[in-house]
Amino acid sequence: EADDLSQALRSTVIKMTFDGTTTAWCPIGDFFGTGYHIRPHSTWYTKVSSDNTLSCYWIMPFKKQAKIDVLNLGSKPVKLIRGRIRSGPWEWDNRSCYFHAAWKQWAEVKTQSNEKAKDHGAFDLNWITVKGRGTYVGDVLTLFNTANTWWGEGDEKIYVDGESFPSHIGTGTEDYYGYAWCKPNFFESAFHAQPSGDGNLKPGFTVNSRYRSLDAIPFQKSIQFDMEMWHWAKTTMSYAPATFWYARGGATWDVKPDEKEAKRSIPRSVDDIIKPRLVKNAIEGETIKIAERTGGVTEIQNIPRFGWSNNRQLWWRNAKEKDSLVLEFNIEQTGDYDVTLGITKAVDYGIVQIAVNSETKIDSLDLYNPSVIAVDLKLPVCRLNKGRNTLKVTVLGSNPAAVKSHMFGLDYILARKRKN
């Protein structure tokens, strides 16, 4: 139990020490396959219940002594309601291996889009490298996606015993985790699970797991597990794998306990990862009251890579010619103002007329552009009233090259009173 259970799942760490050597250090939510949110599901090795009970069924041999610590690295109390460990006899011999678990986080991994970046934006992230003899048995990936598109085109690349080319190489992260086509659907099975796919095609949280049985990977000298990061967008995201393996005594690995990352505040929104640019003293489009809309639909878009103030804009789409959108905004003093509109241009945006307080300020503005860009539009001097004012946008048509969706996007209104 915790006041902030999600943060506690990340900042509470399970540490395992066998025969005097610490072999497992992992945030408790990642260790049990649920990430930093409770997502009930069951696999061969783990079970997460809706009452917050976390169970695992890994066999953990030891010769003389075992110690399991639960460490609260967070700033708030965490209460363990109950705990149970099952033990039994084990005949230790020269083939026996210790259980291992490691966790690492890229809190702000920067991705590239597919089209123009080097290697189409793909690059490898090393999850774990182990030196020694053992068997690789699984992993859990917890992430927060910040873009409205797929994050996991990259392939696993597993190098066994010093291979120059990986003997295990895949066809996409979702294929590795037992699904396809970026699907966000929940699923659970003995050795694959997607307890949450909320962040697969839009900003949000995703956790995938894969555990191994007949496909466990033995290694005599070493194993290196890399996963290619290949996002469809240029963005910044949070990305944290936990890895599991068995190894003989004396094995070493390159992932060390990272208290700083375990303590880090979990991302709950895009703004937690990509700090928004804010236009000082602006009225944000996403906060403006809609007084009238004669057609189409409006919604708030949150897409950091377009550079909108506060990462958001008011989006009007699927209007028809002569449809209008009237927005209300408040001003403290009556007077003449220099007004700048933060607007968007793109391939499916229309041609519009803009009026302030019923006075036309721009007869015709073509918002077509082959790619999405944010633009600062300065209006002729506007007479604004103390209190309520209106901004009216009327659809006139579309550029011949445009997709005929007649879109309009308002990032912000910035009004500066002119000096007499």
Q: Residue 153 — pLDDT band, cuts 50, 70, 90?
A: very high
CATH number at residue 187: 2.60.120.1390
Contact criterion met (CB below 8 Å) for 323 and 296: yes
Do 409 and 378 lie in one domain? The reply is yes
Task: State the pLDDT confidence band at 303, using cuts at 50, 70 and 90.
Answer: confident
- pLDDT of res. 166: 98
Residues 101 and 172 in one domain: yes
Residue 199's pLDDT is 97
Q: Report how far residue 358's alpha carbon sits from residue 339's, in angstroms, rounded to the nearest whole number.
A: 15
Radius of gyration of the chain (CA): 27
Q: Which two tokens stand for residue 73?
A: 């690295």
CB atoms closer than 10 angstroms to residue 287: 13
Look at residue 261 and tell me whether its pLDDT is greater than 80: yes
One DSSP character per residue, 62-75 reads -SS-EEEEEEE-SS
Contact 361, 379 (CB under 8 A): yes
Buried b (16+ CB within 10 A) or exposed e, 82-92: eeeeeeeeeee
Task: Show the beta-strand stretches assigned E in 66-115.
Answer: 66-72, 98-103, 106-110
Placement of tokens 């659907």 in the chain? 185
Pair (180, 317) in one structural domain: no
**Which residue in 149, 112, 100, 103 sits closest to 10, CA to CA?**
103
| Shared domain check, 292 and 240 | no
CATH number at residue 372: 2.60.120.260
| pLDDT tens column, 90-130 | 999 999 999 999 999 999 999 987 666 667 789 999 999 99
pLDDT at 420: 72
d(CA 60, CA 46): 14
Rounded to 5 degrees, φ, ψ at 172 are 140, 150
In this structure, are 314 and 204 located in the same domain? no
Q: How far apart are CA 344 and CA 350, in angstroms?
A: 10
Per residue in 351-405, pLDDT tens?
A: 999 999 999 999 999 999 999 999 999 999 999 999 999 999 999 999 999 999 9
Residue 328 lies in a domain: yes
Task: Please tell me the distance from the alpha carbon of residue 262 to that of residue 78, in angstroms, as a whole number.
Answer: 15
Bridge partners (DSSP) of residue 394 are 324, 353
* DSSP-derived secondary structure for 232-251: SSS-EEEEEEEEEEEE-TT-
Tokens encoding 397: 């048509």
Residue 277 lies in a domain: no
| Per-residue pLDDT reduced to its tens digit, 11-41 | 999 999 999 999 999 999 999 999 999 999 9
For residues 226 and 232, is the Cβ–Cβ distance under 8 A?
no
Quick one: tokens of 307? Answer: 């550079």
pLDDT at 329 over 70: yes
What is the C-alpha separation between 145 and 152, in angstroms, rounded? 10
Q: Identify whether residues 135 and 198 lie together within a single domain.
A: yes
Q: Are 251 and 133 in contact (CB under 8 A)?
A: yes
Residue 376 lies in a domain: yes
- For residue 216, CA distances in Å to 135, 168, 210, 268, 278 come to 6, 12, 11, 34, 50
Count of Cβ atoms closer than 10 Å to residue 364 Cβ: 10
Give the pLDDT score at 230.
94
Q: State both tokens at 82.
A: 């109950």
Structural tokens at position 195: 């307890």
Q: Residue 88: CB partners within 8 Å, gap ≥ 6? A: none
Q: What are phi and psi of 220, to 5 degrees?
A: -95, -35
Q: Identify whether 276 is part of a domain.
A: no
**φ, ψ for residue 400 (rounded to 5)?**
-55, -30
Q: Which of 107, 127, 114 is nearest to 168 (CA)?
A: 127
Paired sense of beta strands 187-188 and 192-197, if any: antiparallel
Give the chain's mean pLDDT: 96
Which of 247, 270, 293 is a domain's end point? 270
pLDDT at 410 over 70: yes
pLDDT tens digits, 214-223 = 999 999 999 9
257 plus 294 within the same structural domain: no
Q: Are residues 85 and 160 in the same domain?
A: yes
Q: Which domain holds residue 334?
A: 283-417
33: left (phi over 0), alpha (psi -120 to 50) or beta: left
Of 145-154, 303-312, 374-383, give the lowest mean pLDDT range.
Answer: 303-312
* Cα 372 to Cα 346: distance, rounded to the nearest angstrom: 4
Question: For the chain, what is the domain count?
Answer: 2
Residue 120: what pLDDT? 79
**Domain co-membership, 35 together with 178:** yes
Q: Closest by alpha carbon to 175, among 210, 223, 135, 212?
A: 210
What integer is the mean pLDDT of 259-286? 94
